[in-house]
Amino acid sequence: MPNDSYFLGDACLCWTLGDAIDRLTSLRVLYVYRLLKKNAALARLGVHDLVPSYTALAAHADPLTDWEAVRRIVDGAIAAMPADEAKLRERSVRHMLPVSYHGEDLDRVAELTGLGTEEVIARHSAPEYLVAMIGFRPHFPYLIGLDPKLVTPRLDSPRIAVPAGAVAIGGEQTGVYPEESAGGWNIVGMTAPELLLTIEPGDTVVFKRLGA
C-alpha cells in the first residue's frame, strides 16, 4: 500500500494511501482521518485542519510548525492501521435523503447506460453510499458505491447554474449539490439541500425515492 508524504506549499503536508478511487482505499483514509481528529498532540503542534480525499489525507498547519513531529504522528497512525477491512470500519452516522427522481438528465443517463429510467432509479437508490470526502463546495458529499452500470459521462457543456439539492452522477461518482453552482454532472433527482449540513466524511448516505 502506498504511503508517500509530500508538501503542497509550505502549510500543507499530504499522505497518499492509494492510487485509485475504491471503497477500501477510502476506508483506509477515513480510518486515519478519524483517528487523528482525536489526537490532541496534533492540535498542540498547530495542525488546524485535516482533510481526507479519495486517496490521500492532508494536514494543514502554520508554515513554521514542527512538520517532522507531525509526520511522525501521522506515519505512526498509518503504520498501526489494521489490514482487515472489517476493522477499518467505525460506527458512523447514516443519513437518509428523500429524492424526487425527476431530474432533467434522467433520460440521458438511461439512454447512455442502456437502462430504463425505472431501473436507473432503482439502481441509484439501492446502495448505502460511503461519504469518501466533502469537497468542490462546502457540504458537497462525494459518495462511494455507485452501481457500475450507472457510470455516465459528464455533460459536454457544464451548466452555469445547477440548483441546490440536485442529486447527480458524474462518471463513476454520485453526489448532491448543496447550493446553486456551476456543474457538469447529470441531474437525476432533487433532495433538500439542508439535509447535507450534518454529513461528515465516513458517514453513509441512503437515497429514498419519493412518490413516483
pLDDT band for position 3 (cuts 50, 70, 90): low
d(CA 72, CA 159): 44
- Look at residue 87 and tell me whether its pLDDT is greater than 80: no
CA–CA distance, 101 with 40 (Å, rounded to integer): 44
Going by DSSP bridges, is the β-strand pair 47-52/94-99 parallel, antiparallel, or unpaired? unpaired
Question: Residue 135: what pLDDT?
Answer: 86
The reported pLDDT for the residue numbered 44 is 93
Asked if the model's pLDDT at residue 164 lies above 60, the reply is: yes
Q: What is the predicted pLDDT for the residue at 86?
A: 74
Q: Which positions ≥6 away from 78 have C-beta within 8 Å?
A: 3, 15, 17, 32
- In this structure, what C-alpha cell is assigned to residue 191? 433532495
Q: How far apart are CA 52 and CA 32, in angstroms?
A: 9
Q: Which residue has the higher pLDDT, 196 or 19?
A: 196
* pLDDT above 80 for 1: no
* pTM, two decimal places: 0.87
DSSP string, 27-91: HHHHHHHHHHHT-HHHHHTTEEEEEE-SSEEEEEE-TTS-HHHHHHHHHHHHHT--SSHHHH---
CA-nearest of 125, 141, 7, 120 to 63 is 7
Cα 40 to Cα 36, 58, 92, 170, 202, distances in angstroms: 8, 17, 21, 38, 20
∠ CA 39-45-49, nearest 5°, is: 65
- Residue 85, sorted as left (phi over 0), alpha (psi -120 to 50) or beta, turns out to be alpha
- Residue 20 binned pLDDT confidence (cut-offs 50, 70, 90): confident
Domains of the chain: 4-88 (3.30.1360.40), 94-209 (2.40.100.10)
pLDDT tens column, 35-80: 998 899 999 999 999 999 999 999 999 999 999 999 999 999 999 8
Burial (CB count within 10 angstroms: exposed 0-12, middle 13-18, buried 19+), residue 63: exposed
Contact call for residues 67 and 6 (beta carbons, < 8 A): no
